[in-house]
Amino acid sequence: MNLPVRLVLDTNVCLDLLVFDDPRCASLRDALEQRRAMAFTDAPCREEWLRVLAYPRLALSPSRQAQAVLDYDAMLSPWLAPPAPVAAAVRLPRCPDPDDQKFLELAHAAGADALLSRDRALLGLASRARRRGLFRIALPQDWQAVDA
């Protein structure tokens, strides 16, 4: 039996999966539900999730926010281990958006195969991360190429 693909999902991917039901994420959703893929979160990423759900522009009712939190907690596994020290030879790229650095740090600490994002700042680091022998950074609809 193959081990599940280990993933970190940024907040926008979680919104696509859990709030907007984006069809581009259907195969990712299936893989997570069938445990062919495993997604991790940690306290800083979850705190961002809670903050974003309350954004007025999303116009989510309190009950819809509560359901999105339950869905997030059911789909993503908490990463409780302390962040792994980054060896000098394996430097994480610095994201131009400091708020997104936490996803890179979690992907490294959790030993993720990939960080899935639609964020240009994170996607722009894909080749740098690959050159450094780290996890892949990819669009959520390309998650299957991670295991190739």
Q: Which of 111, 37, 118 is nearest to 79 (CA)?
A: 111
Q: Write out pLDDT tens, residues 21-77.
A: 999 999 999 999 999 999 999 999 999 999 999 999 999 999 999 999 999 999 999
Q: How confident is the model at residue 135 (pLDDT cuts 50, 70, 90)?
A: very high
Pairwise pLDDT comparison (60 vs 144), residue with the higher score: 60
Note the pTM of the prediction, 2 decimals: 0.91
Q: Classify domain 5-147 by CATH architecture.
A: 3-Layer(aba) Sandwich (3.40)
Read off the DSSP letter of residue 36.
Answer: S
Q: What is the mean pLDDT of the chain?
A: 91
Delimit the domains of the chain by residue range. 5-147
User: Number of helices (H) and strands (E), helices first, in the chain?
Assistant: 7, 5
User: What pLDDT is stored for residue 92 in this prediction?
Assistant: 86
User: What pLDDT is stored for residue 37 in this prediction?
Assistant: 96
